[in-house]
Structure 1
Amino acid sequence: MLEDVGIPVRLLTSEWRVYLDALEGCNRPAQADATRSPAECSYNLYRMGWVMDYPDAASMLATFRPGSRFQYTGWESAEYAELLDRALAEPDDALRADLYAQAERVILQDAVIVPLQYYDRTVLVKSGVRFDYPPFGPPSLQYWARGQD
């Protein structure tokens, strides 16, 4: 797809730890040589995923905050950080949701990430078994129960 628009592509694969070390070496100046240019890195585009672990937009958006241990992009924005700070301190749900939406727009306008996919879950459950699939995190047997026959 990228080659169709004139961007040469060379795919690389590696073990997970090697992959994370490469991301940290190019995108975390505090932990690496801050003089490295993108051309010196083994990649300029990479795939990373995240799954919400609690029901608040901060679960996703805080990963892009400067200083986050999950922030591999090298991107920083004072406006974004300020919006997150305000959202985290805002007790009103509607106002907090608006602040998170503004922060998300900053990420998308700066083209920091390209959302590519959304994970969906399909579950087959035998009749007579009640299973409430949790909206966040992995399923646990504590959610299974024998239903009425």
Structure 2
Amino acid sequence: MIDNLLEGNKKFREGFFKENKAVFDEIAKGQSPTVLWIGCSDSRLQTGHITQTLPGTLFIQRNIGNVVPIHDWNFATVLEYAIRHLKVKDIVICGHSDCGAIKALEKETDDVYIPLWLNNAIEAKNRVDAKIPAPKTPEAAKERSRMIEQENVR
């Protein structure tokens, strides 16, 4: 796998990097993104691909479940830097369907850190709990998960 990563980097340098040299020359002087993008760490989601943006456009914070934790130093630092120093104009919280983190809110686990992290999203689950009962079918569970995903980005 490491060889694939190195080969991919070589292709990037010889292709995309050269094709967008002016962009890279400009962002080498410093960054000035206009958007703070908060997204999920899911490996299937590549922010630049799904937004079709060039490097330097987005300041990106990714974490499991695209959570906005109110007591997390890392997140607070990203938010403060984006607003005070980069002067971003917009903040986007982007969730996605079939999110494993959101599904994990409904399950018992012997993991140590994941449940602690997901407590940051428990309010989204609680708001859905107040609206609909526990699901009785796989289809209802999927719909409930979708509702929690949507509530988590509100």
Q: What is the TM-score of this pair, normalised by structure 1? A: 0.29
Bigger Rg, structure 1 or 2? 1
Larger RCO (alpha carbons 8 Å, 6+ apart): 2
More strand by share: 2
